[in-house]
Amino acid sequence: MVGIWLVVLMILSNGLSSSGVGTNDSRIPEFVDIGALFSFNTTVGRVVKLAIETAVEDINSDPSILGETKLRVSMQEDSKYRGFLSIAEVLQLMSKHTVAIIGPQTSITAHVISHVANELQVPLLSFSATEPTLSSLQFPFFVRTAPNDIYQMTAIAEIINYYGWREVIAVYVDDDQGRNGIAALGDKLAERRCKISYKAPMSPEATREEITDVLVQVALDESRIIVLHTNPNWGPKVLSVAKYLGMMGTGYVWITSSFLSAVLDTDGALSPDGINDIQGVLTLRVYTPDTELKRRFSSRWKNMTRGMTSNGPLGLSTFGLFAYDTVCLLARALDKFFKQGNQITFSYDSKLSELHGGSLHLDALNIFDQGKMLRENIYGINMTGVTGHIKYTSDGNLVNPAYEIINVIGTASRRVGYWSNYSGLSVVPPEALYSKLANRSSASQKLLPVIWPGETTQKPRGWVFPNNGRHLRIGIPRRVSYREFVSQVKGTDLFKGFSIDVFLSAVNLLPYAVPYKFIPFGDGHSNPSNTELVRLITAGVFDAAVGDITITTERTRLVDFTQPYIESGLVVVAPVRKLESNAWAFLRPFTPMMWCVTAIFFLAVGAVVWILEHRLNDDFRGPPKKQVVTILWFSFSTMFFAHRENTVSTLGRFVLIIWLFVVLIINSSYTASLTSILTVQQLSSPIKGISSLVNSKEPVGYLQGSFTRNYLVEEVGIHESRLVPLKTQDETAKALKDGPKKGGVAAYIDERAYIELFLSSRCDFTIVGQEFTRNGWGFAFPRDSPLAVDLSTAILELAENGDLQRIHDKWLLSSACLSQGAKLEVDRLELKAFWGLYLICGFACLLALLIYFIQTMRQYNKHHTEDLETSGRSSTSSRLKTFLSFVDEKEEEVKHRSKRRQMERISYRSNSEIGSLSVSTTMCSNKGYAQSSSNRSIDCNNEA
């Protein structure tokens, strides 16, 4: 490839003037030559030219940059605006020993002359050639001084995703800029599950008629989201033709790349009619922060362009800002280059020097020896310009790329938000978010309201049915069983059934017409596979599928489903037999464990009440035989609340009231269950549900063509050799009746919607166990189909207004066997349903016994301590016998005996005192006191 371009260079270099050979001057040069290659005769070119001249003037007047060295710029008109002929023009710049070239304007030219720049090692600094592939390693001397288009396409993709659109149309000029930019857009859309549904390329020199032909094809497509990516020259023409064709009205969305904002910013670039052509359009503008430096430059620009009215007003666009900063960036890189002690030298290319003679002046083309070093200095610059912070990342792109999102309204434009590579869509300037943690969640993505084409603020739906006469091809399963859901009217192309009626009712609620055609799928002799029907949508055979199609994980990986219009999980159906009553039917309400525990508690509560009442209540006293009978009688008589014994203790009453509450609950439950058993016809089945089927080895039936087979094998774990496909309802009924012994099946597994129809007239079978999957039926459409979303909304509306239930009743409501008073055998009442009551009762008994024991010990210690001391019996056995005797003794007798002993002690004490008094009197008379009898009596009493 390099050799080919060298030949082209040699041919086109005829006539180039020679400007001397390379130099090795050690001094810093007085001038540094740079070039500028642009289409300066265009509106954008005039802005760029003035910005470059202003920047050069500012650099040369600032001694802090480059010192005494001045920049000398050579302006080269890219008059042809093409890549091939631009080679000669760029060679004219390079023959002047230029160290760098600002430009070119387009990516086409950049692709061509980058090969020349690689050979001569002259950096190309471009702010307008932004297509992504120029950043490849193939072009090391191409330096982009504006954001890469990859970021612009990311912003467009995020806008499309923000509004919930899934398909877009790309209209673009079929050149390097347009083609590679749209390729990048497609990649970014795919990352967000969106896609370009139709690409509409145009020739770079397309006439109005050719543009019209392209847009007519666009109008026939389904999508109404159009992304326009072209250059400032052709973009307004495309929009003008779109306005003429009525494609700027309600329902359309036009999103353009940044070319339109450059046109709008350049005052006078569009006429009033041109402004009217782009109402409601969204466009992007490279974001430049509103700094003091930018404001001063904008004010200065207005002063400079005030008198320039020959070609119309000259507004300051982003091209002008980036052109100014590109010159400043190059100047700072050169300043750093010289401060490093480097020189500017050129040398011959040996290959070119060998081709001498004739009229070819190839000696004018020299290699810039320090080109790589200057390029590295350019990438190492970290500065602030009128466009904001300028710094390069390791991949050669500018840091923090950002865009403004502009909505064209009236004669001006309105900013509705920002996009930045750091935080996505927002309504605040990007620099305000750089100091915060990056937040790309959907809740943080925001834009202001937009006025769309047609002057509406309502977000366009984004698609219509294509106006090309094509109908939706809707696949309908041709069933041989359960035809109430889907069936073909014999001899016609019409279909009927529950699923068909739901689809037709939902379509009638849509705000637009849906042209469709039902196409049967299946041979009519066996049920077709709905999974295969769904797969044919992905293959393009069908545009949708309508019928009794279950929404499964496998199928959702292939297509999108609507909102389920009926719930239908898998259930097990098995034969049942009538359960006849017998002499022991009264025992059926409770399980054996329940009977045992209940009996134990009856005895336990009776014993506890006897213990609590024995010392107080005569009804609970007497001979041992009588006490045992009393306990048994009291225990079981409480079942009927017929106990005759009164409870007198507080603790006994506490236990009894809790126990009677438990008995009340048990009696009520027993009565209800026994009533159901004796009055309702009972059905029983050896199959209890899916678990019992998994553990058995018997064959299981399923509906042919259903997803049930794969689910039972892969998810449930039933071996496929046990599965028997069944086609019709009659075949299923026969297989269930025959059973495994006669070549039938033990159970049948299918979706509840089918089973309800199956059981409506077959009372020998019933559903056993619980529904073990949660599925629904929906209509299938290709991935990201907008029709699936709209139909889901319509189905919800049908459910809310009752129409869905009425359709269900029309097709599926029928008398069920449950209306005959038959039911599957109810579960017997188990202990786990009453363990809470028993726990409360047991706790109450233990608490009462604990309190009773404490009280008894206190009485025992109070009334029997002295007896033990006087008797001298302190062994453990004697104490235990004494305590048991005390417990068995009636409390009233204990208290009476204790009182009698207390009286005896008092009497004994009194007798002792009287004996002492007699002794004292005798002693007094022997002393011979002479006092009077009365005084003696007093003295003796005192002595006594």
Residue 311, pLDDT > 80, answer no
What pLDDT does 889 receive?
64
Residue-level pLDDT at 818 = 45
Q: What is the pLDDT of residue 874?
A: 55
Domain residue limits, the chain: 31-145+318-391, 149-289+400-444, 472-567+777-812, 585-679, 683-774
Residue type, 266: T
DSSP 223-255: B-EEEEE--TTTHHHHHHHHHHTTTTSTT-EEE
pLDDT of 140 above 70: yes
Q: Please report the DSSP string for 558-569 in residue order.
A: TSEE---SEE--
Identity of residue 632: L
CB 34 within 8 A of CB 323: no
Cβ neighbours of residue 588 closer than 8 Å, sequence gap 6 or more: 673, 674, 677, 828
**Mean pLDDT computed over every residue of the chain:** 82
What pLDDT is attached to residue 933? 43
Assess whether the previous peptide bond of 564 is cis (omega < 30° from 0). no
* Average pLDDT of the segment spanning 644-660: 78
Mean pLDDT of 804-819: 75
Give the 3-state secondary structure of residue 754: helix
In degrees rounded to 5, what are phi and psi of residue 297?
A: -65, -40
Highest mean pLDDT among 404-413, 592-601, 813-822: 404-413
pLDDT at 673 over 90: no
Q: What is the pLDDT of residue 932?
A: 42
Q: Across-strand partners of 349?
A: none
| Cβ contact 513:452 at 8 Å | no
pLDDT at 44: 85
**How many Å apart are CA 895 and CA 509, to the nearest integer?**
93
Answer for the pair 422, 433: CB distance below 8 angstroms, yes or no.
Answer: yes
Q: Read off the amino acid at residue 370.
A: Q
- pLDDT-wise least confident of 501-510, 548-557, 657-666, 775-784: 657-666
Q: Give the tokens for residue 437.
A: 């943690």
Place of tokens 């999974």: 531
Give the residue-averaged pLDDT of 5-13. Answer: 44
Q: Is the pLDDT of residue 635 over 80?
A: no
Q: Residue 936: its pLDDT value, please?
A: 41
What backbone phi and psi angles, to 5 degrees, belong to 195? Answer: -155, 160
Answer whether residue 556 shows pLDDT above 50.
Answer: yes
Question: Which residues, in sequence order, are CB contacts of 760 under 8 Å at separation 6+?
Answer: 814, 815, 816, 817
Mean local confidence (pLDDT), 932-944? 41
Using CB atoms within 10 Å of the CB of residue 27, give its burial: 0 to 12 exposed, 13 to 18 middle, 19+ buried.
exposed
Q: DSSP letters of 531-561?
A: HHHHHHHHTTS-SEE-SS-B--HHHHTTSEE
Residue 725 to residue 705: CA distance in whole angstroms: 8
How many Å is the Cα radius of gyration of the chain?
51
pLDDT at 148 over 90: yes
pLDDT number for residue 749? 92
Q: Is residue 921 scored above 60 in pLDDT?
A: no
The DSSP annotation for 684-718 comes to E-S--SHHHHHHS-S-EEEETTSTHHHHIIIII--
Share above pLDDT 70 across residues of the chain, in percent, rounded to a whole number: 79
Between these two residues, 473 and 91, which has the higher pLDDT value?
473
Task: Compute the distance between CA of residue 323 and CA of residue 103 in angstroms, rounded to an integer.
Answer: 9
Output the pTM of the full model.
Answer: 0.69
Q: pLDDT tens, 753-791?
A: 898 888 887 877 888 878 888 889 999 999 888 899 899
What pLDDT sits at residue 929? 40
Q: What is the pLDDT of residue 248?
A: 93
Which residues neighbour 91 within 8 Å (Cβ) at sequence distance 6 or greater? 9, 12, 13, 16, 116, 365
Q: Which residue has the higher pLDDT, 337 or 827?
A: 337
Rounded-to-integer distance, Cα 896 and Cα 901, Å: 9
Largest CA distance in the chain: 186
Has residue 923 got a pLDDT over 70?
no
Q: How much is the pLDDT for 653?
A: 81
Classify domain 149-289+400-444 at the CATH class level. Answer: alpha beta
Interior CA angle at 861 toward 855 and 863, to 5°? 100
Residue 470 has pLDDT above 90, yes or no: no
Q: Which CATH class is domain 683-774?
A: alpha beta
The per-residue pLDDT for 563 is 94
CB count in 10 Å sphere of residue 155: 26
pLDDT higher at 18 or 295: 295
- Report whether 511 contacts 531 (CB < 8 A): no
Whether the per-residue pLDDT at 646 is higher than 50: the answer is yes
Backbone angles phi, psi at 872, to 5 degrees: 80, 5
Whole-number Cα distances in Å, 420 to 74, 383, 841: 36, 20, 70
Q: Which fold has domain 31-145+318-391?
A: Rossmann fold (3.40.50)
Q: How confident is the model at residue 617 (pLDDT cuts 50, 70, 90)?
A: low
Per-residue pLDDT reduced to its tens digit, 90-103: 777 777 788 999 98
Confidence of residue 211 (pLDDT cuts 50, 70, 90): very high
Task: Give the pairing of strands 167-173 and 570-575.
Answer: unpaired
| pLDDT tens digit sequence for 155-189 | 999 999 999 998 999 999 998 889 999 999 999 99
Q: What is the C-alpha to C-alpha distance for residues 405 and 701, in angstroms, rounded to an integer?
A: 61
Report pLDDT for 171. Answer: 96
pLDDT at 585: 65
Backbone angles phi, psi at 421, to 5 degrees: -70, -10
Q: Which residue has the higher pLDDT, 80 or 120?
A: 120
Q: Evaluate whether 72 touches 31 at the Cβ level (below 8 Å).
A: yes
pLDDT of residue 272: 80
Q: Inform me whether the pLDDT recorded for 893 exceeds 80.
A: no
835-871 and 876-888 helices cross at what angle (nearest 10)? Answer: 120
Q: Is the pLDDT of residue 839 over 70?
A: yes
From 252-261, 564-573, 609-618, the region with the lowest mean pLDDT: 609-618
pLDDT in tens, 683-719: 556 677 788 888 888 899 999 888 888 899 988 889 8
Provide the pLDDT for residue 910: 65
Cβ neighbourhood burial of 373 (10 Å; 0-12, 13-18, 19+)? middle
* C-alpha to C-alpha distance for 897 and 826, rounded to whole angstroms: 62
Same fold flag, 31-145+318-391 and 149-289+400-444:
yes
CB 462 within 8 A of CB 252: no
Q: What are phi and psi of 393, to 5 degrees?
A: -90, 180
Report the distance separating Cα 23 and Cα 34, nearest Å: 17
**In which band, very low, low, confident or very high, does the pLDDT at 11 lie, cut at 50, 70 and 90?**
very low
Is pLDDT above 60 for 23? no
In this predicted structure, the answer to whether residue 871 has a pLDDT above a threshold of 60 is no
Question: Among residues 432, 440, 564, which one has the least CA distance to residue 192?
Answer: 440
Lowest mean pLDDT among 143-147, 655-659, 677-681: 677-681
- pLDDT at residue number 214: 95
Contact criterion met (CB below 8 Å) for 206 and 234: yes
Query: What is the C-alpha separation between 844 and 516, in angstroms, rounded?
Result: 74
Look at residue 362 and tell me whether its pLDDT is greater than 70.
no
Q: Is the pLDDT of residue 469 over 70?
A: no
pLDDT (tens digit per residue) in 505-519:
999 999 888 889 999
- CATH no., domain 472-567+777-812: 3.40.190.10
What local confidence, expressed as pLDDT, does residue 878 receive? 63
Residues 28-54 pLDDT 10s: 788 999 999 888 888 888 899 999 999
d(CA 274, CA 237): 9
| Residue 530 CA: distances (Å) to CA of 4, 499, 512, 547, 706 | 59, 14, 28, 9, 7
* Gap between the Cα atoms of 205 and 536, Å rounded: 42
Amino acid at 204: P
Residues in Cβ contact with 693 at an 8 Å cutoff, skipping those fewer than 6 apart:
572, 687, 700, 718, 746, 747, 749
Q: How far apart are the C-alpha atoms of 236 and 46, rounded to whole Å? A: 18
